[in-house]
Amino acid sequence: MGLEISGRSIDFVFRGQLDCSSNPNYPTANMGDSYEVSVAGKIGGASGTIVNIGDELRCMVNGSAAGTQAAVGANWNIIQANLPITTDANSNILFSATAPGTNAAKVHVITEGTAPTTRPADAVQVWVGQYAPGDDRLYILGEGTVDPVIIGGGTVIEGTTATGTGAPVRQDSGTLTGTPLTSAPSDNDSSTQIATTAFAKSQDAVLRREPDQAVHMTAAASGSSGITVADNDNIDFGTGNFTLVWKGSLPDWTPAADVILLQKITVGVGFQLDLLTTGYLELTLNALTFATTSAVSAIDGTGHEIMVTVSVGATQTTVSFYVDGVLLQAPAAQNNTTTVSSAAVFYAMGTSAVRTAGTASFVATYNRALTAAEVLDLYRNGVDFADMWGSQTTKVVNGTFDSDASSWTAIRATLASVVGGESGNCLEVTLTSGSDQGAWQNIVTVVGKKYRVRGAIKSGTSGNESYRIAATDAFSGAGSEYVALEGTTSGSWVFVSGEFTATTIECSVRMYKISATAGTMLFDTISLVEIGATLLLPPEGITKSGWYGQANGLNASYPATGWSLTRPTIDIGDGPILLSATTVAFNANADTTLYTVPTGRRCVLSHAVAVAGADAGATTTLAIGQDTAETDFVGASTLSNLDAQYDAVILMPVPNATPVKVKSYAAGTVIQAQVGSQSGGATNTVYLFGFLY
**What is the model's pLDDT at position 89?**
53
Any long-range contacts for 270-275 (C-beta under 8 Å, 24+ apart)?
Answer: 270/340, 270/341, 270/342, 270/344, 271/237, 271/244, 271/310, 271/340, 273/244, 273/246, 273/306, 273/308, 275/250
Confidence label for 515 from pLDDT (cuts 50, 70 and 90)? confident
* Amino acid, single-letter form, for residue 377: D
**What is the model's pLDDT at position 558?**
93
Q: Of 102, 49, 103, 107, which Cα lies nearest the Cα of 82? A: 107
Percentage, residues of the chain above pLDDT 70: 77
Report the pLDDT averaged over residues 542-549. Answer: 89
**What is the model's pLDDT at position 675?**
93
**What is the model's pLDDT at position 435?**
81
Name the least confident of 45-59, 149-163, 200-214, 546-560.
149-163
560/187: higher pLDDT = 560
**What is the model's pLDDT at position 316?**
95
Name the least confident of 173-177, 360-364, 563-567, 593-597.
173-177
423/57: higher pLDDT = 57
Phi-psi map region of 405: left, alpha, beta (phi>0 left; psi -120 to 50 alpha): alpha
**What is the model's pLDDT at position 425?**
95
Other residues' Cβ atoms within 10 Å of the Cβ of residue 348? 26
Report the pLDDT averaged over residues 390-398. Answer: 93
* Amino acid, single-letter form, for residue 34: S
Is the pLDDT at 184 greater than 70? The verdict is no
**What is the model's pLDDT at position 266?**
93
Name the least confident of 100-114, 235-249, 332-346, 610-624.
100-114
Report the pLDDT averaged over residues 586-596. Answer: 91
Name the least confident of 401-405, 507-511, 574-578.
574-578
How far, CA to CA in Å, does 65 sit from each of 10, 29, 68, 73, 666? 19, 7, 10, 10, 59
**What is the model's pLDDT at position 84?**
58
Which residues, other chains included, contact 613 with Cβ-Cβ below 8 Å and sequence gap of 6+?
A: 645, 681, 682, 683, 684, 685
**Sequence ranges of the chain with CATH classification 2.60.120.200:** 215-387
Could you report the per-residue pLDDT of 301-357, keeping only the tens digit for each? 999 999 999 999 989 999 999 999 999 999 999 999 999 999 999 999 999 999 999
How far, CA to CA in Å, does 34 sit from each of 14, 27, 30, 659? 5, 10, 9, 61
**What is the model's pLDDT at position 478?**
54
Confidence label for 557 from pLDDT (cuts 50, 70 and 90)? very high
CA 402 to CA 357: how far, in whole Å?
48
Element (H, E) at 198: helix 197-207
CA 528 to CA 213: how far, in whole Å?
35
CA 453 to CA 384: how far, in whole Å?
20
Report the pLDDT averaged over residues 273-292. Answer: 96
At 658 the three-state DSSP class reads: coil
**What is the model's pLDDT at position 596?**
86
491/87: higher pLDDT = 491
Report the pLDDT averaged over residues 379-383. Answer: 92
**What is the model's pLDDT at position 9?**
57
CA angle 671, 672, 676 (to 5 degrees): 155
Confidence label for 499 from pLDDT (cuts 50, 70 and 90)? very high
| 409-530 placed in CATH 2.60.120.260 | yes
Confidence label for 575 from pLDDT (cuts 50, 70 and 90)? low
Confidence label for 489 from pLDDT (cuts 50, 70 and 90)? very high
**What is the model's pLDDT at position 654?**
74
Confidence label for 134 from pLDDT (cuts 50, 70 and 90)? low
Can you list the positions of beta strands (E) in 296-393?
A: 303-312, 316-323, 326-327, 332-335, 346-348, 358-366
Residues 107, 126 contacting (CB under 8 angstroms): yes
Is the pLDDT at 96 greater than 90? The verdict is no
Confidence label for 6 from pLDDT (cuts 50, 70 and 90)? very low
**Sequence ranges of the chain with CATH classification 2.60.120.260:** 409-530
87/615: higher pLDDT = 615
DSSP assignment letter at 171: T
Name the least confident of 104-118, 203-217, 471-485.
104-118
Q: Of 357, 383, 354, which Cα lies nearest the Cα of 243? A: 383
Please name every residue paired with 124 in a beta bridge, in sequence order, or none if there are none: 107
Confidence label for 186 from pLDDT (cuts 50, 70 and 90)? very low
CA 311 to CA 244: how far, in whole Å?
12
Could you report the per-residue pLDDT of 420-460, keeping only the tens digit for each? 998 899 999 999 988 889 999 999 999 999 999 999 999 99
**What is the model's pLDDT at position 163?**
41
Q: What number of H helices and E strands is found in the chain?
A: 3, 49
| 574-692 placed in CATH 2.60.120 | yes
Confidence label for 135 from pLDDT (cuts 50, 70 and 90)? low
Label residues 624-641 b or e (16+ Cβ within 10 Å = b). Answer: bbbeeebebbbebbbbee
Question: Which stretch, 149-163, 467-481, 545-559, has highest mean pLDDT?
Answer: 545-559
Q: What is the mean pLDDT of the chain?
A: 81
Specify the CATH architecture of the domain 215-387. Sandwich (2.60)
Phi-psi map region of 646: left, alpha, beta (phi>0 left; psi -120 to 50 alpha): left
Confidence label for 692 from pLDDT (cuts 50, 70 and 90)? confident
Could you report the per-residue pLDDT of 658-688, keeping only the tens digit for each? 677 788 888 889 999 999 999 998 888 999 9
Is the pLDDT at 85 greater than 90? The verdict is no
Please name every residue paired with 14 in a beta bridge, in sequence order, or none if there are none: 34
93/670: higher pLDDT = 670
Confidence label for 372 from pLDDT (cuts 50, 70 and 90)? very high
Which residues, other chains included, contact 229 with Cβ-Cβ below 8 Å and sequence gap of 6+?
A: 235, 345, 346, 347, 348, 535, 537, 549, 554, 555, 556, 557
**What is the model's pLDDT at position 158?**
44
Is the pLDDT at 34 greater than 70? The verdict is yes
**What is the model's pLDDT at position 170?**
43
Residues 588, 679 contacting (CB under 8 angstroms): no
